[in-house]
Structure 1
Amino acid sequence: MLYGLSYIFTKQATAVASPLALLGWRFLLAFVVMSGLIVVGVIHVSFKGKRLRPLLLVALFDPVLYFIGETFGISHTTASESGVFLACIPVAALLASAWLLHKYPTRLQVIGILITLIGVIVTVLAAGASASLSLIGYLFLLLAVVTYALYSVYVDKASAYTGIEITYIMLTAGAVVFVTMALIEALEHGNPQALFSLPVKHPSFAVAVAYQGIGSSVLALFLSNFAIAQIGVNKTASFIGISTVVSIIAGVLLLGEAFSSAQLIGAAVIICGVYTANNTFHRQKRQSQIEKKSD
């Protein structure tokens, strides 16, 4: 839900600034907020005696490579094309989990994720299909799909770390990389002062950064990491399509965007897919309860 609502704020922010400027401010704020919480003792992190490789790979795949792929992929393609590509993330995560973690999905999980994929594609195309035929754009979007799937796998592998520790390293990496990229972009345009003054001159940009930095980065990333640790990659991946439904509802209610019957059907299919993919979990839980009662 948090990711779905972020699209509204992205539209507001990119109307007055570049995507890299938004990413730089977003991850800088997220890093500062989370560092402040650590300093005052609200949350705790400890990296002593733990292998850093899985954690660094998580941060490399997401946010660094994923957001580079998503940002430049969307900028070089149409909304419908990028939506369809990114809708493939749950399928890629499922395949990566089976290949690298040897955690094979159940038949219901495969069916559910495929149903969700169909629902997202229907919903995206209902908004108006168009093609850019941009090879570089497609490659960036493919990078985003693959790296998000690998992020999901390596979060599972980084079991020695808490969700808070994983999130903090991800935000640190995002701040370092995207602030640097935003500064380089500003210097190329010969106006670095404009980058620093964005939140002051444009209140809508400041609101967008606040939401994405705290809501979509600190909170949503932590929830994602926590979910993968608790219910696994396959079940967590099935929920990705929900952000599409939330973004549509938010667009209709808050931005006055049109809502077609095809989009309604697509949203319903997405919900059915998520339910189907997770139905195995509920069956296993009920079976466990029955076995406990019989004992």
Structure 2
Amino acid sequence: MSKGLLYILLFLLMVIWGFNVSAIKILVTYFPPVFIQGVRVFLAGLVVIVVLILSKRFERISRKNALGIFVVALFGVFGHHLFLALGLTLTTGSNTGLILGLVPLFTSIFAMIFLKELLTFFKVIGILSALSGVYFIILKGNGPVSGFSLGDLYIFGAVITQAISFIVIKKLTTNLDSRQMTGIMLIFGALMMFGFSLWIEPVEISQFQQPMYVWLVLLASAVFATGLGHMLYNYAIQQLGAGSTAIFINLTPFFSLLGSALFLGEKIVLEQLIGFVLIVIGVILGTGMLEGTFRSLKRRNLSRSLER
């Protein structure tokens, strides 16, 4: 696959991931939230496993890697999707999409803490900018929720758990295929969600008598956004590098805002747009993307000057 085509597919994936926030908001409105997240994630995991088996890329994993995948599933699938489901029942899709835009930043913060990555001046500025963006979205917003809500707190939980899982994934993928890990962790996490759902949610047959478009939303979200989407993203990391691929993540809050307006009828206010800009700036600075670009350009210019 050419780089040009891969860039186009990544852009389309960010559109899908942004709109997927609205899809999950619709699903948790019609179904028990934790249960339907389990169904959605389980279907996504099956898609990944089937693709791997058909392409003959599914291999046995060691007990050590199985334990690591379980930890990733606990945080990145069960924890993340549990908080996301509960949060979307109590806050808006637009707030959710914008807060989820903090995932790369918190991943970078945890990398500084647990992986001893360097804290630079630009990263500090980026963290402060992103937190200012959160202030505008939540505390200055004039939407249906006044001030900081429990739903927003749950979405922060989704951000933190996914960021922790990314740190574990970074350690695991040194000796394990990322696509195989993705499929297995989705299945593990879905089974955890089913068990938790049986404990906290009464699931009745009548709840499955929903309009056809709701089932289509479920399939599209599971297959394209979560299943094939994560496989494409992992492939892009392998082909383009983590830095180049991560830049595209900054597009998802914008498309989540657009999706909330188009599909959920939510009103986008000025404070949310200001928060969006501040979060994007914060992520670019806080994750070291800008510094990495400068270093790459400097090395390129230096190599050109030496060639002359």
TM-score by length of 1: 0.77
Task: Select which of 90, 102, 107 maps to 1:93.
Answer: 107
Structure 2 residue 292 is the aligned partner of structure 1 residue 281: yes
Cα displacement (A) at 1:246? 1.6
Query: Alpha-carbon deviations, 1:246-295, whole Å to 9, x = none?
Result: 21122234444323333333333334334444211211111221232215
Specify whether residues 257 and 241 from structure 1 end up closer, same or farther in structure 2 by C-alpha distance, changes over 3 A only. same
- What is the letter of the counterpart of residue 45 of structure 1? F
Structure 2 residue 175 is the aligned partner of structure 1 residue 179: no
Provide the residue aligned with 2:73 in structure 1. Answer: 59
Structure 2 residue 261 is the aligned partner of structure 1 residue 252: yes
Structure 2 residue 14 is the aligned partner of structure 1 residue 5: no
Provide the residue aligned with 1:107 in structure 2. Answer: 121
Q: Which runs of 5+ in 2 are unaligned?
A: 1-13
The number of equivalent residue pairs is 282
Structure 2 residue 130 is the aligned partner of structure 1 residue 116: yes
Percent of matched pairs sharing the same residue: 23
Specify whether residues 122 and 69 from structure 1 end up closer, same or farther in structure 2 by C-alpha distance, changes over 3 A only. same
Query: Alpha-carbon deviations, 1:177-236, whole Å to 9, x = none?
Result: 2334445667x45x3x346x45xx42122122112212331134345656777437xx94
SS in 1 for 2:79: helix
Cα displacement (A) at 1:19? 0.9
- What is the letter of the counterpart of residue 130 of structure 1? S
Specify whether residues 127 and 223 from structure 1 end up closer, same or farther in structure 2 by C-alpha distance, changes over 3 A only. farther
SS in 2 for 1:102: coil
Task: Select which of 167, 182, 185 maps to 2:182.
Answer: 167
Contact 1:9 1:212 in 2 (8 A): yes
Structure 2 residue 52 is the aligned partner of structure 1 residue 38: yes
Q: How far apart are the structure 2 equivalents of 1:82 and 1:11?
A: 10
- After superposition, residues 196-275 of structure 1 pair within 5 angstroms as 197-198=208-209, 201-222=210-231, 230-231=241-242, 236=246, 242-275=251-284
Q: How far apart are the structure 1 equivalents of 2:118 and 2:223?
A: 34
Contact 2:91 2:152 in 1 (8 A): no
- What is the letter of the counterpart of residue 293 of structure 2? H
Cα displacement (A) at 1:62? 0.9
Q: How far apart are the structure 2 equivalents of 1:266 and 1:138?
A: 14
SS in 2 for 1:45: coil
Specify whether residues 174 and 184 from structure 1 end up closer, same or farther in structure 2 by C-alpha distance, changes over 3 A only. same
Contact 1:113 1:274 in 2 (8 A): yes
- What is the letter of the counterpart of residue 86 of structure 2? F
SS in 1 for 2:71: helix
Query: Alpha-carbon deviations, 1:120-161, whole Å to 9, x = none?
Result: 442344352525776xx7875564343222111111111212
Cα displacement (A) at 1:9? 1.1
SS in 1 for 2:64: coil
Cα displacement (A) at 1:110? 3.5
Cα displacement (A) at 1:87? 6.2
Cα displacement (A) at 1:165? 1.6
Specify whether residues 211 and 130 from structure 1 end up closer, same or farther in structure 2 by C-alpha distance, changes over 3 A only. same
Contact 1:69 1:144 in 2 (8 A): yes
Contact 2:78 2:192 in 1 (8 A): yes
Specify whether residues 102 and 226 from structure 1 end up closer, same or farther in structure 2 by C-alpha distance, changes over 3 A only. farther
- After superposition, residues 74-93 of structure 1 pair within 5 angstroms as 74-75=88-89, 78-79=91-92, 89-93=103-107
Q: How far apart are the structure 1 equivalents of 2:155 and 2:266?
A: 25
Cα displacement (A) at 1:26? 0.4
Q: Which runs of 5+ in 1 are unaligned?
A: none
Q: How far apart are the structure 2 equivalents of 1:44 and 1:185?
A: 37
